[in-house]
Amino acid sequence: MEELVKRIQQDGDVLGDGVLKVDSLINHQVDPELMEKMGHLFAEVFANRKITKVVTIESSGIAPAIFCARQLGVPMIFARKSKSLTMNEELLTASVYSFTKQVTSTISISRKFLNESDRVLIIDDFLANGQAAKGLIELCQQAGASVEGIGILIEKSFQDGRQLLEEMGLEVVSLARIASLKEGEVTFLEADA
């Protein structure tokens, strides 16, 4: 997606150690118009997959996921990173290691919101080593739901997340694909959409 690539070039900061900071448009301050365009683009790309639920993980995936779900006319579910007092029922859970936060956390979705008739589109902001997406896929598998595709805003193509997901037979659509962050420079591969 040309607009996203331009915005990363314009507003992204490379912090070193493979960290790209896009907190003025995605992760902290959020550009609603860009989010809407990206959410709608995912809805268009996966239009023929008969999606019944859009699944993401709190917090940065919520904005693009809600626009995508709105466009597809289906509910959005965001997996929780911590357990709330009001989550008192059966949970689907998976362990996820976060590179950014350097901790392993347990993510969860209430069992009642996913079942074997669901066809899920997973949306997330970043794909790096694929651990968050893998955790979300595990939650879907536990529920017997099928994962119909994975929509990613920014893929770090120099890490192995995409390969991991494709080896599971899943279609990954990334709106920006980053070849390298070396020497503070962002270089891109051709995006999927």
Interacting residues with a second copy (CB under 8 A): 15, 19, 21, 23-24, 27-33, 35-36, 58-59, 62-63, 66-67, 69-70, 73-78, 80, 82, 84-88, 100-102, 109-110, 113
Smallest separation (angstroms) from a second copy to the CB of 105: 11
On whether 20 is known to bind a ligand per the annotation, the reply is yes
Smallest separation (angstroms) from a second copy to the CB of 104: 15
Which tokens is 43 given? Answer: 């809805």
- Contact criterion met (CB below 8 Å) for 50 and 149: no
- Beta carbon nearer to a second copy, 48 or 102: 102
Smallest separation (angstroms) from a second copy to the CB of 130: 18
How deeply is 190 buried, as exposed, middle or buried, from its count of CB atoms within 10 A (0-12, 13-18, 19+)?
A: exposed
- Report how far apart, in Å, the C-alpha atoms of 149 and of each of 6, 42, 63, 122, 183 are: 25, 10, 18, 6, 33
On whether 156 is known to bind a ligand per the annotation, the reply is yes
- Beta carbon nearer to a second copy, 63 or 127: 63
Block residue for tokens 């936060």: 101
- Beta carbon nearer to a second copy, 111 or 192: 111
Smallest separation (angstroms) from a second copy to the CB of 167: 28
Neighbours of 150 (CB within 10 A): 29
- Beta carbon nearer to a second copy, 32 or 169: 32
On whether 170 is known to bind a ligand per the annotation, the reply is no
Give the C-alpha separation, 84 to 138, whole Å.
21
Smallest separation (angstroms) from a second copy to the CB of 5: 20
- Beta carbon nearer to a second copy, 63 or 173: 63
Q: What is the DSSP code (8-state) at residue 191?
A: P
Give the C-alpha separation, 102 to 149, whole Å.
27
